[in-house]
A = this chain, B = another copy of it.
Amino acid sequence: MTHDYRAPLPETLFLLNEVLDLDAVFALAPYQHLDLETAVVILEEGAKFAEQILAPTNTAGDERGSQLVEGRVITAPGFKSAYRAFADGGWSGIDLPLNFGGQQVPLVIQAAFSEMISGANLAFTMQPITQRAAAWLLAEHGVDDRAARLVEALATGRYGATIAISEPDAGSDVARVRTSALPHPDNSYRISGTKSWISFGDQDYTDQIIHLLLARTPDAPAGTRGISLFVVPRIDFETGIPNGVSVERLESKMGLHGSPTCTLRFDEAVGYRIGDEHQGLKCMFTMVNLMRLEVAFQGIGIAHTATDKASRYAHQRQQGGRPEEAATPIVEHRDVRRMLLRMQSRTKALRALVLDVAKHLDIARFHSDENIRAAALAFSEFMLPVCKSYSAESAFEIANEAVQVMGGMGFARAGGVEQHVRDCRVASINEGTTRVQRSDQVMRQLLRDNGT
């Protein structure tokens, strides 16, 4: 009925042109190859990709989902070719450095694109998110040629990647990671253990998948201070034969059916350490800000498309009014109008807020003045957890209100909005209250370390 996605291009371009002062961003050293006009063209292309290539795969992702067939994941119908178009369009490495094959686009532009693909097909985005996160991890902490080659393979979409943190007994509680990494004479490690809740832990997009994984070396101290970061390829880099990584099962979930959530088993799999021993969690925090920004825009994407669909339905659906006259569109009923206006204003406010935070992250990373960098970082690190939590909650509430506006049709799959409620539900779980508190504590400890 209202399954089609319409990107918020006018709203986003208004913010970029009129509200956010992006001259400051395009003046940063890495972004001088771009200007606002080019960024607008990028987002226009992004909107086309989201609307025409990605959105048509969303319903099949939900209804058919991914499957585990003979130990390998088969993604939902249409996902593989959408991924191919995504990689070919250069979107895989949109914000990654030019020298790694990326497009080196500022986060504020990348984030606006992220909103579009999230609204078009949230499940699909779980793969590019982890792929970019893995690439940034390797770009910042990998020191050898192999790491550089991996970043390029990820930036161009030739390789897939996962971030493998959780274990069956270590979900929110990273300190209890038990996966072991035994040193091998050739400087590699042998990784053994089980990792759970791994998004796109396997897929049929790419032959090679590299797992960025937390594990414990022998005699490592207990808790978070004994954890190191490793890269474990699905196919061994040296021999070209499959490594000791297998998919134990796929989770059956409330939503995000198009995103295969895997439990992975590692049996003496060959792995390579990234960064120093016992510094794994610290390395991971490289990507915390980027991930928070991503989740915030996932929520905005869902909020936008749910509001847009409910609004279109409310203009078409006719109910009520005097019985002897033609029925009126339900948008004319005050309570429906109130709900829609609230949904629209929340979505627009969130988008403006989080794009501004993205801009500050760009400045925090690349401004030439150390003081300006520090101020922008302080602002964005203060704002990001708030943006992330509030956006995740808002997306759920707004999608749920879209169901309410559409009534029975909202509860029906044919209405096209109940999927959004189910898909975005997990966003608030990933960052539950206890979890927020814990990572805040870790953040504080890390900051204290840096201070010594």
Binding site for B on A (CB under 8 A): 166, 169-173, 175-176, 197, 222-224, 251-255, 318-320, 323-324, 327, 330, 333, 335-336, 400, 403-404, 407-408, 410-414, 418, 421-422, 425-426, 428-429, 432-434, 437-438
Name the residue on B nearest A415 (C-beta). B254
A253 B413 Cβ-Cβ under 8 A: yes
- Given A222-B323, A414-B251, also A197-B433 (CB < 8 A): no
The answer for the CA separation of A318 and B170 in the assembled complex, in Å, is 9
Partner of A323, one of B223, B324, B418: B223
The interface residues of chain B lying within 8 Å CB-to-CB of A252 are 412-414
The interface residues of chain B lying within 8 Å CB-to-CB of A224 are 323
Name the residue on B nearest A405 (C-beta). B432
A428 B408 Cβ-Cβ under 8 A: no
Partner of A412, one of B169, B253, B411, B412: B253
A429 B413 Cβ-Cβ under 8 A: no
The answer for the CA separation of A356 and B434 in the assembled complex, in Å, is 38
B418 A404 Cβ-Cβ under 8 A: no
The answer for the CA separation of A419 and B422 in the assembled complex, in Å, is 10
Question: In the complex, given contacts A169-B327, A408-B426, what are 11 additional A-B residue pairs having Cβ atoms less than 8 angstroms apart?
Answer: A171-B407, A172-B320, A173-B327, A252-B414, A253-B418, A254-B421, A400-B425, A403-B429, A404-B428, A407-B432, A422-B422
**By CB atoms of chain B within 10 A, which of A254, A324, A421, A422 has the most?**
A254
What distance in Å separates the Cβ of A347 from its nearest Cβ neighbour in chain B? 21
The answer for the CA separation of A171 and B415 in the assembled complex, in Å, is 15
The answer for the CA separation of A320 and B320 in the assembled complex, in Å, is 54
The interface residues of chain B lying within 8 Å CB-to-CB of A327 are 169, 173, 176
The answer for the CA separation of A428 and B405 in the assembled complex, in Å, is 11
The interface residues of chain B lying within 8 Å CB-to-CB of A418 are 253-254, 425
What distance in Å separates the Cβ of A27 from its nearest Cβ neighbour in chain B? 43
The interface residues of chain B lying within 8 Å CB-to-CB of A170 are 319
What distance in Å separates the Cβ of A303 from its nearest Cβ neighbour in chain B? 17
A411 B434 Cβ-Cβ under 8 A: no
Partner of A254, one of B223, B336, B411: B411
The interface residues of chain B lying within 8 Å CB-to-CB of A438 are 320
Partner of A407, one of B172, B403, B404, B412: B172
B432 A411 Cβ-Cβ under 8 A: no
A404 B422 Cβ-Cβ under 8 A: no
What distance in Å separates the Cβ of A101 from its nearest Cβ neighbour in chain B? 34
The interface residues of chain B lying within 8 Å CB-to-CB of A255 are 411
B254 A413 Cβ-Cβ under 8 A: yes
The interface residues of chain B lying within 8 Å CB-to-CB of A319 are 169-173, 176
Name the residue on B nearest A413 (C-beta). B252
What distance in Å separates the Cβ of A219 from its nearest Cβ neighbour in chain B? 14
Name the residue on B nearest A223 (C-beta). B323
The interface residues of chain B lying within 8 Å CB-to-CB of A426 are 408, 411
Partner of A335, one of B320, B410, B411, B433: B433
B433 A407 Cβ-Cβ under 8 A: no
What distance in Å separates the Cβ of A91 from its nearest Cβ neighbour in chain B? 27
The interface residues of chain B lying within 8 Å CB-to-CB of A433 are 335
Partner of A429, one of B222, B410, B414, B425: B410
Name the residue on B nearest A254 (C-beta). B418
What distance in Å separates the Cβ of A194 from its nearest Cβ neighbour in chain B? 14
What distance in Å separates the Cβ of A128 from its nearest Cβ neighbour in chain B? 21
What distance in Å separates the Cβ of A228 from its nearest Cβ neighbour in chain B? 16
The interface residues of chain B lying within 8 Å CB-to-CB of A400 are 425
A422 B176 Cβ-Cβ under 8 A: no
The answer for the CA separation of A82 and B327 in the assembled complex, in Å, is 43
A253 B335 Cβ-Cβ under 8 A: no
The answer for the CA separation of A308 and B352 in the assembled complex, in Å, is 41
Partner of A432, one of B323, B404, B428: B404
What distance in Å separates the Cβ of A252 from its nearest Cβ neighbour in chain B? 4
The interface residues of chain B lying within 8 Å CB-to-CB of A253 are 411-413, 418
B324 A223 Cβ-Cβ under 8 A: yes
Closest 7 CB pairs of A and B: A223-B323, A254-B418, A175-B323, A252-B413, A173-B319, A222-B323, A335-B433
